[in-house]
Amino acid sequence: MIPSIFTDLKTLILAAEADPAVDTASAAVDLLRDWLASHETTLVASKTKAPVEFNGTMIQWFHWYVKGDGGHWRRLKKEARALAEAGITAVWLPPASKGGGPDDVGYGTYDLFDLGEFDQKGSVRTKYGTRQEYLEAVQACREAGLQVYADVVFNHKLFADAEEEYLATPYAPENRGQPLGEERKIRAWTQFRFEGRGGRHSTMQWHWYHFDAVDYNSLDPHYQAIWRSHGASFEGNVALEKGNYDFLMGCDLNMAHPEVRGELKHWGRWTLDQVGVDGFRLDAIKHINSDFFIDWITELESYAQRDLFVVGEYWTYDLGSLSWYAANSGGKMSLFDAPLHLNFHEASRSGGQYDMPSLLDGTLMQNLPLLAVTLVENHDTQPLQALESPVEPWFKPLAYAVILLRDQGYPCIFHADYYGADYHDSRFGRRIDIRMPSHRFLIDRFLLARTHWAYGRQIDYFDHFNTIGWTRLGSEGHPRTLAVLLSDGDTGRKWMEVGKANTTYRDLTGHIREAITTNVDGWAEWRCPGGSVSVWVEQEALAELGIQV
């Protein structure tokens, strides 16, 4: 990367923030869109491996309720080659560090340096397995040609080893700008000694002054407050929800403390050395000062002497807020396209009454595609989770066609959508059983099309309330063409151009058995079933790969 272009972006957004006459959120959208357009060549060149035409696809290789039998890493090791052969190019792995016990999904962070190596919190292994199994799974992915992205949980720590007494000021949980009283002595679980690790990999122990706030005071356990540590302050450049959304849970890391910043950089360098990852997924970044990540990413890329892929989870449906954070972090990270997920969720719940031409409105995919990681579902939005907003099963093939077969965004497939998932949890004392069906057959077909034919100029036909489509006209390196048509209502029909005259096409999904042949001008009336999607590819291209539909 060329560091100056990121510095320039940071300067521009700071100037917009300082001008009281400017709506910062609106300015951020326009500013970032223009900046990405003017630096597109540099950004793409720095992040794309040869050959230049490369349709990358990642998979989130876990969901909240994957088996907690310690076999996850072993299963990934066996599956890595199949993932690569399907057309997946990268895997986002769950947090590999030790949490509060062997069933911890990984977001209840206890010890970042324990990857399932030490007897701490009731087990040696994590939910996913041991350190050795983790390293073997990563190696298997790399041998298969897959990039590996590690999940990074820096916002908080939980499950401390001992309490400490210190001074803190109570603030209203729903308004962090409102103190509830004077500074006073509290007792909180803030001492992390990691005795099971015995100083290996890192000698730092954590104390109250490494955290800017906690949410529990055992001297007054029933008093509801966010306790801001003596000498600390809530961080800036975070989401403005609840007045200041620096604090989320547990012991909130103080990113202004030099020992904290130094330790997190050390962990990043250690992870690059010990695990060999190609990038990171950053958890809960709306609660962390964006300046920290500029510093952290710059440090790690300098250490690695290469570009690292970084995507942040700033979960908001507001395009202005996402644009502001992306600009404020210097454009150094991609962001998950939460607004696109919301549109998919709402469309799937609308019973055919969703305005399909508006499906991409307000999304990163449409407005800031170079920074967009597009997704249909994830571990937080799946049923029974914190951000529960599932996309209904009937609509998921349509949604996956959108993220996998269009030109914009870096798509992410969800483990539970690929393999299916059966699990249960409790709500209000009642067991609830969930079944998420597998969409692997169609996703694999979309991946096949993405790998071989989803290239070149894209022509959109978003001109009907229920039925929308687009065509890809191919490129010099990938001259085959395709047409995609989907409908959330009745059977869809639409005239679209692919630019190839008198050419026969087949529906790769198998939904429609009859072939379609273009006219002398390269146009045809394409079809798809109601509430479904069809992907039309050249019959000769299928024959070349030995595929029948």
User: Which residues are known to be catalytic?
Assistant: 283, 313
Structure tokens at 114: 């324990």
Q: Nearest to residue 109, comparing CAs of 217, 248, 241?
A: 248
DSSP classification of residue 437: -
Instruction: Using alpha carbons, list the distances in angstroms from residue 469 to 344, 497, 535.
Output: 16, 11, 10
User: At what angle are helices 319-328 and 3-18 packed, to 10 degrees?
Assistant: 130
Which residues in 55-132 belong to E strands, given as ranges?
Answer: 58-60, 90-92
DSSP assignment of 498-534, as one string? Answer: -S-TT-EEEETTSS--S-EE--TTSEEEEEE-TTEEE
Helical ranges in 305-439 per DSSP H = 319-328, 338-348, 364-367, 396-405, 415-419
Residues 100 and 108 sit within 8 Å (Cβ to Cβ): yes
Instruction: Using alpha carbons, list the distances in angstroms from residue 381 to 67, 350, 544.
Output: 18, 18, 40
Structure tokens at 359: 């499906």
Structure tokens at 361: 């409105």
CA distance 447 to 474: 16
- Residue 302: partners with Cβ closer than 8 Å, 6 or more residues away: none
- Residue 377: partners with Cβ closer than 8 Å, 6 or more residues away: 341, 390, 391, 396, 414, 416, 417
CA distance 2 to 331: 12
Residue type for position 337? D
Enumerate long-range contacts of 26-34, CB under 8 Å, 24 or more apart.
26/320, 28/320, 28/323, 28/324, 28/326, 28/327, 28/328, 29/319, 29/320, 29/323, 29/367, 29/368, 31/323, 31/327, 32/323, 32/326, 32/327, 32/331, 32/368, 32/371, 33/323, 33/367, 33/368
DSSP classification of residue 216: -
Return the H-helix or E-strand segment holding 467: strand 467-472
